[in-house]
């Protein structure tokens, strides 16, 4: 793998349609993974072009921004849990570096999470999960109902208990994405605001760049496919090369009040359904999220909004008083075993970074670091080895509600 194909290229910010762009690395997809990767490569001196009609406005824009290695660790997914823990460890430095580069806060709040069970059967389910999480070394402590209410005074009086999870934090996903865009521009990343439709190959069958729907060509020393659930739609290489990534729909709500109604993130189980409430510094509250196998369906549906609101107010009745300011839908990049695909494909000089499912924001820094290592040394860092780019046939379908 050439380290850097062309060090002398000028920055080509906002290249237009029909342009030919030459760079070290062409990234298909300007979501949080593509942007974090582009910034990391550009900081190291590489020239990068990101190809996306609307960078930063995919799943990460809709998300809640939870950085939750413990609450996203599930039975049978120990390798993924280890990756989430490694991913979380990168966050303090990543947030500080990004805030330094842009001079803007990204709302990184290392304030922990309180988990709450609504009824006794939710409590039993939560206790089993806690046992599992503690068994793999995650920090979580059981709380009685009154201990939960001491931490979150606005909780409903009837909650059954819960847990303190000190290592699960949050970042303001929209501030994050905006800062990444700014940092990328500051580091000279070129944005080609067109959709990548094909990987272009040279005479030896190695990736030599990307082609967009408007006919622009990005010629590069290496290509990274990071188009979330749409990654497998890139043409120019056999479809069987791509990992199995599908859209998993999530409804999410944004509410607003004159006072913060909770001091920090709550994750709840409400009659078997998962629900989270994430307070922002600007006094807005993010409530999410459904997990729906609906394919590429971006409709906001009344019933799902109703269920989310109902579950949120079962945990925190004060939700009733808030203004409902936004109902949105995101499409997570789901995979058969819920783990991402990060690494070289069988096509020389073509890498993939996709399928981060519920953990794209948490895993953005470690993914960027891994792609930089791949480009420089050719190999994936250890924590990532179970998550290489080759399609994985094993694994279970993603669960429903979490």
The smaller minimum CB distance to ligand GLY, of residues 173 and 345, is found at: 173
From 35, 66, 143, 309, residue interacting with ligand GLY (rule: CB under 6 A): 66
Q: Are 228 and 29 in contact (CB under 8 A)?
A: yes
Q: Are strands 190-192 and 246-256 parallel, antiparallel or unpaired?
A: unpaired
Residue in this structure with the two tokens 């931490």, named with its chain if needed: 151
The smaller minimum CB distance to ligand GLY, of residues 193 and 332, is found at: 332
Residue in this structure with the two tokens 């990654």, named with its chain if needed: 231
Mapped onto helix, strand or coil, the DSSP state of residue 254 is: strand
Mapped onto helix, strand or coil, the DSSP state of residue 355 is: coil
Mask 316-335, x = binds ligand GLY (CB under 6 A)?
Answer: ----------------x---
Mask 18-37, x = binds ligand GLY (CB under 6 A)?
Answer: --------------------
State the minimum distance, in angstroms, from the CB of residue 64 to ligand GLY.
Answer: 6
Mask 346-385, x = binds ligand GLY (CB under 6 A)?
Answer: ------------x---------------------------
What residues from 268 to 297 belong to the interface with ligand GLY (CB under 6 A)? 288-289
Mask 200-229, x = binds ligand GLY (CB under 6 A)?
Answer: ------------------------------
**Other beta carbons less than 10 A from residue 18's beta carbon:** 11
Mapped onto helix, strand or coil, the DSSP state of residue 51 is: strand
From 209, 250, 336, 339, residue interacting with ligand GLY (rule: CB under 6 A): 250
The smaller minimum CB distance to ligand GLY, of residues 149 and 358, is found at: 358
What residues from 135 to 154 belong to the interface with ligand GLY (CB under 6 A)? none
The smaller minimum CB distance to ligand GLY, of residues 56 and 209, is found at: 56
State the minimum distance, in angstroms, from the CB of residue 204 to ligand GLY.
Answer: 40
**Other beta carbons less than 10 A from residue 397's beta carbon:** 12
The smaller minimum CB distance to ligand GLY, of residues 64 and 199, is found at: 64
State the minimum distance, in angstroms, from the CB of residue 149 to ligand GLY.
Answer: 25
Cα separations (Å) of 161 from 57, 114, 120, 137, 138? 37, 10, 9, 22, 19
CA–CA distance, 89 with 267 (Å, rounded to integer): 21
CA–CA distance, 85 with 167 (Å, rounded to integer): 9
Candidates 231, 240, 191; CA nearest to 52 is 191
What is the secondary structure of 117-163 as a DSSP string? ESSHHHHHHHHHHHHHHHHTT---EEE-HHHHHHH-TTS-TT--EEE
The smaller minimum CB distance to ligand GLY, of residues 192 and 227, is found at: 227
Mapped onto helix, strand or coil, the DSSP state of residue 14 is: coil
Interface residues with ligand GLY (CB under 6 A) are 64, 66, 250, 288-289, 332, 358
């Amino acid at each position: 793998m050439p380290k850097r194909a062309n060090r002398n290229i000028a920055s080509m910010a906002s290249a237009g349609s029909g342009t030919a762009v030459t760079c070290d690395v062409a990234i298909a997809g300007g979501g949080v993974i593509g942007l974090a990767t582009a910034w990391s490569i550009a900081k190291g001196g590489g020239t990068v072009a990101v190809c996306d009609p609307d960078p930063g406005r995919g799943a990460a824009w809709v998300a809640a921004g939870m950085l939750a290695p413990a609450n996203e660790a599930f039975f049978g997914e120990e390798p993924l849990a280890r990756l989430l823990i490694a991913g979380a460890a990168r966050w303090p430095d990543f947030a500080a570096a990004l805030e330094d580069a842009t001079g803007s806060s990204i709302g990184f709040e290392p304030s922990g999470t309180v988990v709450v069970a609504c009824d006794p059967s939710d409590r039993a389910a939560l206790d089993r999960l806690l046992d599992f999480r503690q068994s793999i070394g995650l920090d979580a402590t059981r709380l009685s109902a009154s201990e939960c209410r001491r931490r979150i005074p606005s909780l409903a009086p009837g909650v059954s208990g819960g847990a303190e999870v000190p290592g699960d934090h949050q970042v303001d996903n929209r501030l994050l994405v905006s800062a990444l865009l700014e940092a990328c521009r500051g580091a000279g990343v070129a944005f080609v605001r067109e959709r990548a439709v094909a990987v272009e190959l040279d005479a030896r069958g190695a990736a030599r760049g990307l082609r967009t729907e408007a006919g622009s060509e990005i010629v590069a020393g290496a290509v990274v496919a990071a188009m979330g659930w749409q990654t497998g739609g890139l043409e120019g290489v056999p479809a069987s090369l791509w990992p199995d990534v599908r859209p998993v729909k999530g409804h999410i709500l944004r509410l607003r009040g004159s006072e913060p109604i909770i001091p920090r993130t709550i994750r709840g189980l409400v009659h078997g359904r998962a629900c989270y409430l994430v307070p922002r510094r600007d006094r807005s509250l993010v409530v999410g999220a459904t997990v729906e196998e609906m394919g590429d369906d971006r409709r906001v549906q009344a019933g799902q909004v109703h269920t989310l609101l109902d579950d949120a107010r079962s945990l925190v009745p004060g939700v009733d008083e808030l203004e409902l300011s936004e109902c949105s839908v995101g499409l997570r990049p789901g995979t058969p075993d819920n783990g991402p695909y990060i690494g070289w494909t069988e096509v020389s000089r073509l890498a993939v970074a996709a399928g981060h499912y519920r953990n794209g924001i948490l895993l953005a820094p470690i993914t960027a670091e891994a792609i930089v290592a791949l480009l420089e040394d050719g190999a994936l860092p250890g924590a990532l080895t179970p998550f290489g780019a080759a399609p994985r046939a094993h694994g279970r379908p993603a669960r429903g509600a979490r």
